[in-house]
Amino acid sequence: PTPPRLQRVTVLGATGSIGMSTLDVLARHPDRFEAFALTAQVQVERLFELCLRFSPRFAVLVDSAAASDLRQRLKAAGSATEVLAGAGALVEVAAHPDTDAVMAAIVGAAGLAPALAAARAGKRVLLANKEALVLSGRLFMQAVAASGAQLLPIDSEHNAVFQALPQGYTRDPQRCGVRRILLTASGGPFRERSLESLANVTPDEACAHPNWVMGRKISVDSATMMNKGLEVIEAHWLFAVPPEAIEVVVHPQSVIHSMVEYADGSVLAQLGNPDMRTPIAHALAYPERIDAGVRPLDLFEIGRLNFERPDFVRFPCLALAYDALREGGAAAAVLNAANEEAVAAFLDRRVGFTRIPDIIAATLERACDLSVDCIEAILDADARAREIARSEILARQTTP
Ligand code: NAD
Ligand code: MG
C-alpha cells in the first residue's frame, strides 16, 4: 500500500498553549504531518525557535517590526522559512492551496478572519478558537457546509461530544436520537471560595486552574465560568442543539470531558487525563488514532468522579451566555467582545474580578440593533461592543 501523503498543517497561534501542544503532537509523527505555516502575534523569540525546529514554509507575525526582526534572524541562521507580516497574512496562509489542515488556535475575535478563511477554502479546520464560533456561528457553519470543509472541535468538551455522537452525525439531534448534551465543567479555581473574597482575587489566583494549564484569557474565563458559557454557544452551533438541550454539569476532576444523552437513556462519555494533546491528536489523525504522548488514565488513582449543579449566583457569566444565545442576533458577539475587554482590564488590574459580569451585562443592555449577517458586520458589531465595554470599564476602574 502507498503510504499516506504528509498532511501539511498550518498552526495559527503556534506560540500559545494550544499551538505548542499541537506542535508536540506533530513532532511525534513526522511520517504523517509537516508544519506548513506557523503564526503568532509578536513572540519573535519563540517563533524563531519553532521555525528552526519545524522548518515551515511560512512564518507569520502580525506585528511588522517583530516580523522584520524574525526575518533577519532566520536569514542569519540559514533558514529557508519565508516571513510574512500583518493580519492579512494570517488569512493568506490559512487559505493557502498547499495547506491541508489548519489549527485555529489564536485567542479571541482576532482569530475569526483566518479561521473563517480556512473554512471557506474547504480545509480540515481544527477549531480551538471558540470565540470565532461564538461571534459568527451561523456564518461559520454555512461556510463549512458550502465549501465541504471538515470541522473538527479541539475544545476538549466538544471533542468529547464529537466522539460520543454517532459516526456521520447529521447535525440533526432528533433524527440521531440525541436528547441532550452534557457539558462538563471543572468549576475553576473559585468553585469553593467564599463569595465575599471574590472581589479581591488577583489575576494570578484566577489563572491558577486546578486541572489545566492554559493561556491567561481562557484561564480567567474558566474562573468566571464564562468559558463554559462560550462553550454552550459553541456546542449549539457545532451540533445544532437548542440551548435547553445543553446542560452544564460541574465535574471537579475533569476526567469526563463531556457526554451525550440519547433517547433510549444511554449516556455516552469520553474520558481521559486533562491534556489537550488528546483532542488535538484525535482531530489531526481522525478517523485514525495516534499516540499523543498523554499518560494513560489511571482510574484507581482517580478513585471517584463527582458531579454538581452549576451555581448561577456565584457565576453570573454562565447565565449571561445562555441569555445571549437565546436572544440571538448580535447578542453573543457583544457578549464575547465585552468579555474580552473586561478580562483584559482585570488582567491589567484596572477592574476587580467581580466587575467582569457587571461590565458584560451593562454592555449587552446598551448595544442594540447590531447586525451579524456578514463578516464585515460582525467585525463592526465587535468593535462597537468593545467601545461600549471600554466606557463601562472606565466607569468602574479602580484608581491605583
Ligand atoms: P494563548 O494565549 O496561550 O495563545 C494565543 C496565541 O494566539 C499565541 O500564539 C498568540 O501569539 C496568538 N495571538 C494572540 N493575539 C493575537 C492577535 N491579535 N492576532 C494574531 N495572533 C494572536 O491561548 P491558548 O490558551 O492557546 O488558547 C487559544 C484558543 O484555544 C483560545 O480561543 C482558547 O479559548 C482555546 N482553547 C484553549 C485551551 C487550552 O487548554 N489552552 C482549551 C480549549 C480551548
Ligand atoms: Mg473547554
C-alpha cell at 98: 498547499
**What mean pLDDT comes out for the span 98-117?**
98
Domain ranges of the chain: 7-153, 155-220+241-308
7-153: CATH topology is Rossmann fold (3.40.50)
* 157 alpha carbon – ligand 2 mean position (Å): 5
Task: Decide the pairing of beta strands 256-262 and 82-85.
Answer: unpaired
Is a pLDDT exceeding 80 seen at residue 399?
Answer: no
The pLDDT of residue 268 is 98
Span 226-246, average pLDDT: 98
Q: What is the pLDDT of residue 344?
A: 98
φ, ψ for residue 33, nearest 5 deg: -125, 150
| Confidence category of residue 1, pLDDT binned at 50, 70, 90 | low
Ligand 1 pocket, 18 CB below 6 A?
yes
Q: List, for residues 169-187, the tens digit of each pLDDT value.
A: 999 999 999 999 999 999 9
Please state, in angstroms and rounded to a whole number, the distance separating the CA atoms of residues 140 and 7.
Answer: 23
For the chain, the average pLDDT equals 97
Average pLDDT over residues 328-351: 98
Least confident of 53-57, 218-222, 353-357, 369-373: 369-373
Maximum CA pair distance of the chain? 68
pLDDT, residue 366, reads 97
For residue 129, report the distance from its CA to the centre of ligand 1, in Å: 7
Whether the pLDDT of residue 400 is over 90: the answer is: no
Q: Is the pLDDT of residue 2 over 70?
A: no
Q: What is the pLDDT of residue 3?
A: 60
Ligand 1 within 6 A of 15 CB?
Answer: yes
Which ligand 1 atom minimizes the distance to the CA of 108? 32
Q: What is the ipTM of this complex?
A: 0.99
Look at the block and give the residue holding cell 449566583.
313
Ligand 1 neighbour 13 (Cβ under 6 A) = yes
Q: What is the pLDDT of residue 293?
A: 98
Query: What pTM, to 2 d.p., does this model score?
Result: 0.98
Amino acid at 221: D
- The pLDDT value given to residue 369: 87
**Is 112's C-beta closer than 6 angstroms to any atom of ligand 1?**
no
Determine the pLDDT at residue 4.
Answer: 66
Q: How many CB atoms lie within 10 A of CB 396?
A: 16
Q: From the CA of 105, how far away is ligand 1's center (Å)?
A: 5
Structure confidence at residue 290 as a pLDDT band (50, 70, 90): very high
Asked if pLDDT for residue 199 goes beyond 80, the answer is yes
Q: What is the mean pLDDT of residues 264-274?
A: 98
Q: How many angstroms separate the CA atoms of 49 and 146, rounded?
A: 38
Cell triple for 42: 509578536
Confidence band for 210, pLDDT divided at 50, 70 and 90: confident
Q: E strand or H helix at 69, and its extent?
A: helix 64-76
The closest ligand to the CA of 158 turns out to be: 2
